[in-house]
Amino acid sequence: MENNAYCNQSIMCSVTNCKHHNSTKDYCSLEAIKVGTHEANPTVCQCTDCQSFEAKCSCK
């Protein structure tokens, strides 16, 4: 399993299939993330997305 050595303790993350996830500490390994929405008028948290998400590569 891929693990990023750095963890940004300002960005908690539980998305284990993200390329930027630090699995040993459940934090993001990026310095900053972009949060966006897939809705025209977001009203609940489910309408927001981490637009910095990248799927882990399963190829070796």
Give the global pTM.
Answer: 0.79
Domain-wise residue ranges, the chain: 8-50
Cα separation of the two ends of the chain: 11
List the one residue out of 28, 2, 30, 31 whose CA is nearest residue 15. 28
What letter would DSSP give residue 47? G
Residue 58 has pLDDT above 90, yes or no: no
Q: What is the pLDDT of residues 9-45, one digit of tens each?
A: 999 999 999 999 998 999 999 999 999 999 999 999 9
Q: E strands within the chain?
A: 8-12, 21-22, 27-28, 35-37, 48-50
Taking every pair of Cα atoms in the chain, the longest distance, rounded to a whole number of angstroms, is 41
